[in-house]
Amino acid sequence: MQETTLILIEIGALLLAMSFLGRLAIRIGISPIPFYLVLGLLFGEGGFLPLDASATFVQVGAQIGVILLLALLGLEYTASELLGTLGRFPVIGAVDGVLNAVPGAVLALVLGWGPVAAVALAGITWVSSSGVVAKMLRDLGRLGNRETPGVLAILVMEDLAMAFYLPVLAALLVGVSLLEGAVAVAIAVGVVTLILFVALRFGSFISQIFSPEHPEPLLLGVLGLTMLVAGIAQQVNVSTAVGAFLVGIALSGRVAQQASQVLTPLRDLFAAFFFVFFGLATDASQLLFMLGPAVALSVVTMATKILTGYLGARSAGIGVPGRWRAGLALTPRGEFSIVIAGLAVSSGIEPGLAPLATGYVLITVIAGPLLARIPDAGWFRAATRPRRPAVGR
């Protein structure tokens, strides 16, 4: 059988399975993310029937999915709104780093993996998954909630912090000089600053490049610009998610509204590929070796991430239900954690880091969408409702 034919068969079967699982998720009232992950595990490395021919296609589709998720999220906000939100959360950004990075570093040292592995595992437990959180917020209809800007601010701060973290980690892994590491960090931060400046200062001009009256050229133009900026960002060790998000906030008015409409079907398609690919890239047979530490680490860091979101929402004056929604929404880890683990393992510092990171991310990504629905439950709303003081007789 020709390779192209095999790719078509594998992708077609995968899409049909995703469709059935998506309908099942809707029927029972949960996010389809856990179903997509399990589907990927079944057909990934170590699964029942590996999809070898279409692996590259799904990988590229997964990357596009993350880019579109964050680009459309950025279309919901303006650059001035983003800066205003970030300005209200600097302390929470520092608290987020301490609360969520320290448990990973401590576990690595307890396991005897050394300081470099500790830095790597700290990054794995620190950063929430922008792609997973963005899809959860959309699936749950919370994009317009008062706590959502705070959630996005924490995600953006984490992704921006990666502009510092990733070059430093890479320098530690390969043993480059301090000067070379500092130059890499300076370049990454400079690119992010430039993109943000252009989005804030010339956003209206960028919007004028596209015509909202013509859907096809608008689709091609906005998608092309988003992928171009995301690629440039990744080239200098900045998250593609940051680049895509900043392109989204640079567009405004009717262009932003129409771009959101024409890009939504593409986002839905490729975002589903992102979650399936995560399962495909996971070797299910290796997960059992580090399952215990992964579960323990997941429990601790999901709790610290809930605390982070709760404190952030409280500092913004959000009510108690919104604080819980913010905290529970931030629990999943994802794309950054896998990238960090891949960098560390490829350098040969600790073979056990890969299955630990995989099990950890898988647990948080499956548990996250389920936990995020808890604030909508009647019993939870009743339990967190402020009690009125008793009136004396």
Task: Write the DSSP symbol of residue 272.
Answer: H
Token duo for residue 247: 């392109």
Residue-wise pLDDT for 80-108, tens only, equals: 666 666 666 667 888 898 999 999 999 99
**In the predicted model, what is the mean pLDDT of the chain?**
82
**pLDDT of 393:** 43
The model's confidence at residue 1, banded by pLDDT at 50, 70 and 90, is: low
Residues 107, 134: Cα–Cα separation, whole Å: 29
Name which of 27-36, 108-117, 321-330 the model is least confident about.
27-36
In this predicted model, which residue has the larger pLDDT, 268 or 89?
Answer: 268
In this predicted model, which residue has the larger pLDDT, 353 or 20?
Answer: 20
**pLDDT of 129:** 85
Residues 84, 59: Cα–Cα separation, whole Å: 35
Token duo for residue 350: 């600790």
Q: Fill in the amino acid letter for 277.
A: F
Record: fold of 63-377? Na+/H+ antiporter like fold (1.20.1530)
- The domain segmentation of the chain, as residue ranges, is 63-377
pLDDT at 341 over 90: no
Which helix (H) or strand (E) segment holds residue 151: the answer is helix 148-174
Residue-wise pLDDT for 116-150, tens only, equals: 899 999 999 999 988 788 888 888 888 888 888 88
Listed residue (164, 124, 109) closest to 354, CA to CA: 124
The model's confidence at residue 187, banded by pLDDT at 50, 70 and 90, is: confident
Percentage of the chain exceeding pLDDT 70: 85
Over range 219-245, report the average pLDDT.
83
Residue-wise pLDDT for 365-382, tens only, equals: 889 888 998 988 888 888
